[in-house]
Structure 1
Amino acid sequence: MDEDLTEAAHRPEEHVSGGVPSWLAAALNYCSRCGAALRFGSIDGDHRERLACSACGFVAYVNPRLVVTTLPITEGGEVVLLRRGIEPGYGFWAQPGGFLEIDETVREGAIRETLEETGLLVEPGEIVGLYSRTQAAVVVVAFEARIVGGALRANPEALEFGTFAPEAIPWPEIAFRTSTWALRDWVRRVRPDLHPELLREQPAV
């Protein structure tokens, strides 16, 4: 999952005008219409500062990106995770996922990302949860998914794969906060008898 393509996840929560993270604002310099400089400022009829062109007045709205992920579940009730082979989160565990493409539904994107990163063909079911990371400028949707085909295959994004029962998830080795939140919500649904102490470890990133 590439929810934090920059090193934003490692930085303190820092925002500039309009609630835009500083790392993202630094990359937004010029108007896409006329090429003039973009500046934060007040916009008529709006309660917050917006990034707008200093010449033509075009407003460049900055919105979070949508990340689609799955928790692939085996017939035995275990969740499939991958040990990340790229940064951020190199060497830590996460569920498969990535950015939604412009011409996909969320389910189509989740199926594609899971196939690309694991080799598994899945059928997304219920949404486990929706999670926001304002500093990373993402909204993450996590589906519980049934494995309907394919086979785990090596790829540059995964060092290895693992299947974990709810009571055996390696919480201290989970890569992202959003992954931890999704896994916790899934565990609470399928194993509500597990002691809350098992779900308190913090994610690595």
Structure 2
Amino acid sequence: MRFTPHVTVATVIESEGRFLLVEEMAGGRAVFNQPAGHLEADESLIEAALRETLEETGWDVELTAVTGIYLYTAVSNGVTYQRVCFSGRPLQQRPNHSLDEGILGPRWLSRAELAAQPERWRSELVLRCIDDYLGGERFPLSLIRMPA
């Protein structure tokens, strides 16, 4: 059997105690997730995080740190994901930006509002990434290396 993990990126974007989340359809229900998605060919992890955040929320952001690298096997499909989570700050919203299919829209929620709705999390990583960010986990973006 061949083991092929899926490389994904996510962003924790905080402003005034609220976090930029994506409300999206998954498995026939509306769930919350960080702006997140798969790494594409010929793309850096940082480029992927910026692209996914814009595609799913309409927000341009500035990445400031790596919050964590996570290995997660989804109960729903048995797929293993390696998630690189970045933190950053919002720059500007593009109000007329077309969002990815299945995205209901961006939502700004406090940690408490999100924690009160565990049945709406896309995965347990949603709150874990925020908690790691709030706990001060910040690694320099230089942690992400590209070939010279």
What range is the shorter-chain TM-score in? Answer: 0.7 to 0.9
Query: Which residue number corresponds to residue 188 of structure 1?
Result: 135
CA distance in 2, matches of 1:183, 1:105: 23
Out of 105, 108, 111, the residue aligned to residue 163 of structure 1 is 108
After TM superposition, what 4+ stretches of structure 1 lie above 4 angstroms from structure 2?
none
Which protein shows a greater Rg? 1
Unaligned runs of 5+ in 1: 1-16, 18-50, 52-61, 191-205
Query: Which residue number corresponds to residue 5 of structure 2?
Result: 64
Q: Is the 8 A contact 1:83 1:90 kept in 2?
A: no
Query: Which residue number corresponds to residue 35 of structure 1?
Result: none
**Superposition RMSD on alpha carbons, in Å?**
2.3
Out of 11, 18, 24, the residue aligned to residue 84 of structure 1 is 24
Q: Is the 8 A contact 2:56 2:105 kept in 1?
A: no
Partner SS state of residue 122, structure 2: coil
CA distance in 1, matches of 2:86, 2:28: 21
Q: Deviations over 1:49-82 (max 9, x none)?
A: xx5xxxxxxxxxx4312101111222x2321111
The alignment covers a number of residue pairs equal to 129
Q: Deviations over 1:71-127 (max 9, x none)?
A: 1222x2321111113x24731111111101121111100000110011101111211
Q: Is the 8 A contact 1:154 1:160 kept in 2?
A: no
Q: Is the 8 A contact 1:69 1:98 kept in 2?
A: yes
CA distance in 2, matches of 1:182, 1:95: 9
Q: Is the 8 A contact 2:14 2:90 kept in 1?
A: yes
Matched, 1:150 2:87: no
Query: Which residue number corresponds to residue 3 of structure 1?
Result: none
Query: Which residue number corresponds to residue 48 of structure 2?
Result: 109
Query: Which residue number corresponds to residue 198 of structure 1?
Result: none
Q: Is the 8 A contact 2:13 2:87 kept in 1?
A: yes
Q: Is the 8 A contact 2:57 2:105 kept in 1?
A: no
Matched, 1:95 2:34: yes
Query: Which residue number corresponds to residue 146 of structure 2?
Result: none
Q: Deviations over 1:147-194 (max 9, x none)?
A: 11223556333223321223332441212122232122123339xxxx
Query: Which residue number corresponds to residue 143 of structure 2?
Result: none
Q: Percentage identity across aligned positions?
A: 26
